[in-house]
C-alpha cells in the first residue's frame, strides 16, 4: 500500500477527494416540509444546572426543593431557557449546520410546563417561509416553526418560530440591498427619548406596577440597566451549545470560522439571551416564565466579549392571582462597547409582595 502520510502527498490527496458534507443549503428547504430531527436529548439535572449556572440564572426554585415546592413545583424543574436552547440545539444538524446565522425568533411558548429532569425530548420543525436576502446573494432567509415534544406523551413542551440566514448552493442576483428612503414615521432620529427614566424600587409585581403608574402621563419610561456582566469563554462559547447537541460550526470550529463574516467563533444566541435574562431575573421576583416574542440578534458576541443587560418595563397586569401578576418587559443584551447584541420582549409572572 502506498504511504500517504507525508505532508506533501497528503495535501494532494485532500485536494482530490470529495468531502462528505453535513447539513442543508437554502435550496433544500421548501415551505411545508416537515423535518423530524433524529437527535434527541434527555433533559437532565446536570444539563439544566450547567446551563443555568454559567448563564447566571440562579433562581432558587430551580436549585432547591424547598424553594421549588413554595413556587408550586414538585421538585426543581427544567428551566424554560434550557428547554428552549435544547429544543433549538437538536435542530441545528438539519436546519443550520451548513452555516449562516440565527437572526431571530418569536412566539416562544411553553404549553406543558413544568418539565422535570428525566424527560426525553423529541423535536420536529416545519418550514414556514423561505426568502431571498436582497443584501447577501450567497444566503437565503429561512423560517421554521419548531416544536419540542415529550417523547413519551407527545405533549408539546416548547414551541417557537425561528429565522436563520442559510447559505445558498448557488448565489443569486439581487438588488444589493439598496437603501430605500424611510417613511417619515420610520425615521429613528425623529423618535425622542423620554425626559426621565424611572427605576422600580424592588423586584415584586407591585414595584413594577407602581413604577409604570409613576411614569404614566409624564414624559417618562420605566427602564434601567443591570450591574452584572458575563465575559464569554470556552465554556459559554463552545461547551454549552455542544451540550445541547448544537452542531453549528459557528461555536466550535475556529478554523472554518476564521474565513466567515464574524471572523471567528461566536456565542450561541441562546447563551447570549439567557445570560441577559439571568441578569434581569436577578433583579426581580420571577414566579413563572410565560413567553418571548420579537427576539433579534443584532451583532456577534465572541470569546472575550462581555454580555450585560438592560430592561424596559412595558406593561403590568394584575391578573386574577393572589401570588403573581403578569409583566411584559423588553430586554436588551449589550456588550462592553454598549452595542445591543440581542433584544426581545418577555412576558413573565412576577411574585406579588402581598403573597409573602
Ligand atoms: C443557533 C445558531 C447559530 C447562532 O446562534 S449564531 C449566534 C447568534 N446570531 C448572531 O450572532 C447573528 C447576529 N447578527 C448579525 O451579526 C447580523 O445580523 C448579520 C447576520 C451579520 C447580518 O447583518 P447585515 O447587516 O448584513 O444584515 P441584517 O442584519 O439587516 O439582516 C440580513 C437579512 O436578514 C433579514 N433579517 C434580519 N433579522 C431578521 C428576522 N428576525 N426575521 C426575518 N428576517 C430577518 C434582514 O431583513 C436582511 O434581509 P435582506 O433582504 O435585506 O438581506 C444556528 O446555527 O442555528
C-alpha cell at 77: 424543574
Q: 35 in ligand 1 pocket by Cβ < 6 Å?
A: no
Contact 112, 157 (CB under 8 A): yes
In contact, 350 and 329? CB cutoff 8 Å: no
Contacts of residue 223, Cβ cutoff 8 Å, sequence gap at least 6: 197, 198, 310, 311, 312, 313
ipTM exceeding the 0.90 mark: yes
State the chain's maximal CA–CA distance in angstroms. Answer: 84
C-beta of 342 in contact with ligand 1 (< 6 A): no
Cβ of 104 below 6 Å from ligand 1? yes
CA geometry: angle 39, 246, 81, nearest 5 deg:
100
Atom 11 in ligand 1: which residue has the minimum CA distance? 300
**Distance between Cα 298 and ligand 1 center (Å):** 7
Is the separation of the CB atoms in 286 and 257 below 8 Å? no
Nearest to 244 by CA among 75, 79, 24, 34: 79
CA of 130 relative to ligand 1 center, distance in Å? 14
The verdict on the CB of residue 277 being under 6 Å from ligand 1 is no
Nearest residue (CA) to ligand 1, atom 33: 133
Cβ of 133 less than 6 Å from ligand 1: yes
Distance 181 CA to ligand 1 centre (A): 21
CA 35 to ligand 1 centroid distance, Å: 23
Cβ 128 under 6 angstroms from ligand 1: no
Which of 199, 292, 274 is closest to 230 using CA atoms? 274
Residue with the three cell numbers 426525553: 120
Rounded Cα gap, residues 331 and 79, in angstroms: 18
pTM: 0.95
**What is the rounded distance in angstroms from the CA atom of residue 297 to the CA atom of residue 86?**
18
Q: Which of 130, 115, 129 is nearest to 84 (CA)?
A: 115
SS3 state of residue 80: helix
Burial of residue 180, with CB atoms counted within 10 A of its CB: 0-12 exposed, 13-18 middle, 19 or more buried: exposed
**In order of start, what are the domains of the chain with their CATH numbers?**
21-180 (3.10.129.10), 192-356 (3.10.129.10)
pLDDT of the chain, 356 residues: tens digit per residue: 789 999 999 999 999 999 999 999 999 999 999 999 998 999 999 999 999 999 999 999 999 999 999 999 999 999 999 999 999 999 999 999 998 889 999 999 999 989 999 999 999 999 999 999 999 999 999 999 999 999 999 999 999 999 999 999 988 877 666 555 555 555 555 468 999 999 999 999 999 999 999 999 999 999 999 999 999 999 999 999 999 999 999 999 999 999 888 889 999 999 999 999 999 999 999 999 999 999 999 999 999 999 999 999 999 999 889 999 999 999 999 999 999 999 999 999 999 998 87
How many CB atoms within 10 Å of residue 96? 26
Nearest CA residue ID for atom 2, ligand 1: 102
Q: Ligand 1 centre and the CA of 166: distance in Å?
A: 10
Contact 257, 249 (CB under 8 A): yes
172 lines ligand 1 (CB under 6 A): no
Cα–Cα dist 32/287, whole Å? 37
Ligand 1 midpoint to CA 209 (Å): 35
Handedness of CA 293, 89, 258, 25 (dihedral sign): negative
SS3 77: coil
- Confirm or reject: Cβ of 263 under 6 Å from ligand 1: no
Query: Which one-letter DSSP state was computed for residue 249?
Result: G
Cβ atoms within 10 Å of 286's Cβ, excluding its own: 21
Q: How far is the CA of 347 from the centre of ligand 1 (A)?
A: 24
Contacts of 296 (CB under 8 A, 6+ apart): 103, 104, 342, 343, 344
Amino acid at each position: 500500500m502506498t504511504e500517504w502520510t507525508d505532508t506533501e502527498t497528503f495535501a494532494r490527496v485532500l485536494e482530490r477527494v470529495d468531502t462528505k458534507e453535513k447539513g442543508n443549503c437554502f435550496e433544500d428547504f421548501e415551505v411545508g416540509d416537515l423535518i423530524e430531527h433524529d437527535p434527541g436529548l434527555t433533559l437532565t439535572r446536570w444539563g439544566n444546572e450547567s446551563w443555568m449556572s454559567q448563564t447566571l440564572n440562579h433562581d432558587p426554585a430551580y436549585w432547591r426543593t424547598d424553594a421549588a415546592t413554595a413556587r408550586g413545583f414538585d421538585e426543581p424543574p427544567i428551566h424554560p431557557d434550557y428547554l428552549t436552547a435544547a429544543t433549538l440545539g437538536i435542530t441545528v444538524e438539519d436546519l443550520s449546520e451548513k452555516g449562516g446565522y440565527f437572526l431571530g425568533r418569536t412566539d416562544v411558548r411553553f404549553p406543558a410546563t413544568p418539565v422535570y429532569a428525566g424527560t426525553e425530548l423529541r423535536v420536529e420543525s416545519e418550514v414556514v417561509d423561505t426568502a431571498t436576502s436582497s443584501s447577501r446573494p450567497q444566503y437565503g432567509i429561512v423560517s421554521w416553526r419548531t416544536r419540542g415534544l415529550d417523547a413519551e406523551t407527545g405533549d408539546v413542551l416548547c414551541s417557537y418560530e425561528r429565522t436563520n440566514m442559510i447559505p445558498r448552493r448557488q448565489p443569486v442576483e439581487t438588488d444589493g440591498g439598496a437603501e430605500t428612503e424611510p417613511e417619515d414615521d420610520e425615521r429613528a432620529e425623529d423618535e425622542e427619548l423620554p425626559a426621565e427614566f424611572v427605576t422600580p424600587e424592588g423586584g415584586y409585581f407591585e414595584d413594577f406596577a407602581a413604577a409604570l403608574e409613576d411614569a404614566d402621563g409624564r414624559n417618562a419610561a420605566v427602564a434601567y440597566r443591570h450591574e452584572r456582566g458575563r465575559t464569554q469563554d470556552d465554556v459559554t462559547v463552545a461547551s454549552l451549545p455542544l451540550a445541547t447537541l448544537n452542531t453549528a460550526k459557528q461555536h466550535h470550529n475556529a478554523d472554518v470560522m476564521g474565513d466567515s463574516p464574524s471572523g471567528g467563533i461566536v456565542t450561541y444566541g441562546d447563551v447570549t439571551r439567557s445570560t441577559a435574562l439571568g441578569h434581569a431575573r436577578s433583579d426581580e421576583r420571577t414566579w413563572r416564565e410565560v413567553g418571548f416574542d420579537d427576539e433579534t440578534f443584532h451583532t456577534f458576541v465572541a470569546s472575550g466579549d462581555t454580555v450585560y443587560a438592560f430592561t424596559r418595563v412595558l406593561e403590568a397586569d394584575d391578573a386574577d392571582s393572589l401570588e403573581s401578576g403578569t409583566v411584559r418587559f423588553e430586554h436588551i443584551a449589550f456588550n462592553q462597547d454598549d452595542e445591543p447584541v440581542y433584544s426581545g420582549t418577555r412576558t413573565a409572572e412576577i411574585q406579588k409582595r402581598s403573597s409573602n
